[in-house]
Structure 1
Amino acid sequence: MAPVRPVSVGPVEVRLVEIGISHLPVSPSRALRLAQIAESTGIGRFGVADSSHLFGAMYPTVQLILSRTARIKVGPFVTNPVTRHPSVHAADVAALATLYSPDRLALVMGTGDSAVHSVGLRPAPAEQVGAALRTIRGAAPDGVTLELAASGPKAAAAMAAGIDGLVLGGGLSASWTRRLTGAAGPAASARVFLIGHLVEREDEAARAREAVRASVLAVARHAIGTGMAARDVPARLRPGLEQAFARYDFAAHAKASGANGRLLDDYPEEEAYLFERFAAVGTAGGVAERLRAFQRETGITGAVLSSTVPDPESHIALAGERLIAALGP
């Protein structure tokens, strides 16, 4: 994968916004097909979610994709140090780096969300995540990318030498993003994770929003479910969001047609806020404009879009063929 290239715009140097995709590996063959579409359209990264109880095996899916693609970076997005010991992660990463090129592997680790809650476990403390990444770095050959997933400053502060960058789960809040990157200190990169659903025409956006309501609620609950006052959430919206988050059902996690998709029915203002902050829904041109504006405010270097949509092939193709072009110089 080519590095993110700086682009000179007058006296200010602006980086290209690198686009990645995350996917839930319910079907390894489907994951492979989507990764091949991503690679063929110029997308640089394809992340495989790690909630084994809900979505299936992650590392076998990563290996399948590596074996049947040539350039795209692949790896866990997001994994944790609870459901697998760091030594197990380290062994798997080292083996894959031996079988394939190390610079094609990218692992993102966080405290754990659906992966741990769905099996009755607790998320890891931030310090444990940082220690796990250092363990993996000690076993991984040069070239493997290791990143820290963070939705709050305590997690971001686990950034340490040997970790290549941040993946931020706080959405498109400029002040909150600057606080997270500030807590991390100097970082090689900072990418933001968003619920994505790209469409051909603007009149398709309403249906697209309906399809990802549950996903938007899920990522928002993880990012701002606690300490909303400190996480840039308007005071008038906090009571309604607290009620919706409290009713979230992990058994229906990532299911668009499940009960979670209806939890925002009584909270239209809260729903509008969550979509504005945590989603990238609409045409490539519209999404590109928002990402560019956010980059100018925060200095992010990339965005990772989810693929939990009715037609992920079309969504990913639009991300590669149109969104990347719209973000170009």
Structure 2
Amino acid sequence: MTVETWTLLPSVPKVATRDAVRAEADGWTGVMLADSQNLAAELIVEMSMIVARTERVLVSPGVTNPVTRHPAVLAGAFATLQAESGGRIAVEIGRGDSALAHLGFSPMKLRPFRRYLQALQGYLRGDEVPFDPSFVPAHVASVGDLGLGVAPEGSSLRWLRPQQPKVPVGVAATGPKVIAIGATIGDAVSFSVGGDPERVRAAIERARAARIESGFDPDSLRLGAFLNIAVHDDMETAARITSGKLASFSRFSVMHGKVTGEATGADEAELERLHGKYDMTSHGRADAEHTTLLSAEFAERNAIIGSAKQCLERLMELRELGITRFFLTEEFSREGVAGESHAAIVEEIVPEVNSWT
């Protein structure tokens, strides 16, 4: 199975497109953009700009959510981009985080998240999807109230071309229940449990078990991992480089205050402290105060840091577990040691990982 390397880009007008063009030239398989309307530029617009300016690179949200768009709207947008790009679109979706927090909401609950995923997949396949009033505000009345002679009885993307490749849906997951949902409904599961091989192994085992229990071939499920990465020969410097993104991604393991995702006892205290002091108004910022809460030892266990050789050894260990999609997240800065780390990733990490099978 082909191994993929993905990079998360700053979702800023003009900047995202420029960086996507560079990422394509640098050999990345795909580029991701955050879907967080208050903190980042509009996802679909920026994806459209990238598709128009690139030729090969895959494009995906990293990640979208099930609340701010009806599944028909989300599916229609991505299917349109799929047609315009010649099949270069993928979807990563989770229960929601900063996009919802900045509207005053928490992540979607599990049962409606499952229904949303089922509807999204149905739309992308071209199926007729039953109406579900839970996807719209309660004050919106039924179409039946109009008394039409003939009213729609279901919902589908009627314009979808049968020959168009279906947009693959990956589910970003940390806890066991979301992993199981992703394994049974998604085309892929992308684990956000850090880079500790034991945590990744446990997540893979949960996904495969859920897939088998549902009667599906476990080998047909693609497995990915969101990994914070920094290349530097000095571990403390590497830990400092990745501290901002590591704090943001580590928070998923303690979203509701209780640690999930098979974290070890040594990490639980740090994760709980992070949860108690996390500043969502500074989400994703490298200078946020909460970035100082995770130790260098935590980073060494949970991020991919060190020399290029050390990072490749860590990544190969995860590849041997079954990971084929590497979502490598680094700091956005291209100055100083962060810039040196980025250059090493592009020159030494990406081409090597892309050569793996």
TM-score normalised to the size of structure 1? 0.82
Q: Which residue of 2 aligns with 1:54?
A: 39
Residue in structure 1 matching 2:227, options 180, 194, 210: 194
Separation in 2 of the partners of 1:223 and 1:170?
7
Separation in 2 of the partners of 1:257 and 1:18?
30
Q: Which residue of 2 aligns with 1:214?
A: 244
Bigger shift: residues 56-65 or 154-163: 154-163
Q: Which residue of 2 aligns with 1:273?
A: 298
Percent of aligned pairs with the same residue?
27
Structure 2 alignment gaps of length 5 or more = 125-163, 212-217
Superposition RMSD in Å: 2.4
Q: Which structure 2 residues correspond to residues 1-329 of structure 1 after superposition, within 5 A? A: 4-5=1-2, 17-25=3-11, 27-101=12-86, 103-140=87-124, 141-159=164-182, 163-172=186-195, 173-185=199-211, 186=218, 187-199=220-232, 202-203=233-234, 206-225=236-255, 226-228=257-259, 231-264=261-294, 268=295, 271-277=296-302, 279-296=303-320, 298-311=321-334, 318-327=344-353, 328=355
Separation in 2 of the partners of 1:261 and 1:239?
15
- Can you list the C-alpha shifts for 1:96-134, whole angstroms capped at 9, x where unaligned? 223221x20011111011221222112112343343333
- Could you tell me which amino acid in structure 2 is paired with residue 194 of structure 1? L
Cα distance 1:313–1:108, how it changes in 2: closer, same or farther (>3 A)?
Answer: farther
- Can you list the C-alpha shifts for 1:49-108, whole angstroms capped at 9, x where unaligned? 11111122111111110000001110211001112221221121122223221x200111
Q: Which has the higher strand share?
A: 1
Separation in 1 of the partners of 2:17 and 2:343?
14
- Could you tell me which amino acid in structure 2 is paired with residue 47 of structure 1? M
- Can you list the C-alpha shifts for 1:245-268, whole angstroms capped at 9, x where unaligned? 21100001111112222334xxx4
Separation in 2 of the partners of 1:174 and 1:161?
18
Separation in 2 of the partners of 1:188 and 1:160?
7
Separation in 1 of the partners of 2:69 and 2:341?
31
Separation in 2 of the partners of 1:196 and 1:150?
19
Separation in 1 of the partners of 2:32 and 2:253?
19
Cα distance 1:52–1:222, how it changes in 2: closer, same or farther (>3 A)?
Answer: same
Separation in 1 of the partners of 2:184 and 2:254?
27
Shift of 1:236: 4.7
- Could you tell me which amino acid in structure 1 is paired with residue 347 of structure 2? E
Q: 3-state DSSP class of the match of 1:104? A: coil
- Count of aligned residue pairs for this structure pair: 302
Q: 3-state DSSP class of the match of 1:53? A: coil
- Can you list the C-alpha shifts for 1:218-260, whole angstroms capped at 9, x where unaligned? 21111245543x6333335433431232110000111111222
- Can you list the C-alpha shifts for 1:116-155, whole angstroms capped at 9, x where unaligned? 1222112112343343333333333424221111111111
Separation in 2 of the partners of 1:57 and 1:285?
37
Q: Which residue of 1 aligns with 2:159?
A: none
Contact kept, 8 Å, 1:109 with 1:147, in 2: the verdict is yes
- Could you tell me which amino acid in structure 2 is paired with residue 216 of structure 1? L
Cα distance 1:212–1:113, how it changes in 2: closer, same or farther (>3 A)?
Answer: same
Cα distance 1:162–1:70, how it changes in 2: closer, same or farther (>3 A)?
Answer: farther
Separation in 2 of the partners of 1:152 and 1:159?
11
- Could you tell me which amino acid in structure 2 is paired with residue 136 of structure 1? L
Larger radius of gyration: 2
Q: 3-state DSSP class of the match of 1:176? A: helix
Bigger shift: residues 56-65 or 315-324: 315-324
Contact kept, 8 Å, 2:242 with 2:330, in 1: the verdict is no
Bigger shift: residues 105-114 or 177-186: 177-186
Structure 1 alignment gaps of length 5 or more = 6-16
Shift of 1:162: 6.5
Shift of 1:313: 6.9
Cα distance 1:198–1:128, how it changes in 2: closer, same or farther (>3 A)?
Answer: farther
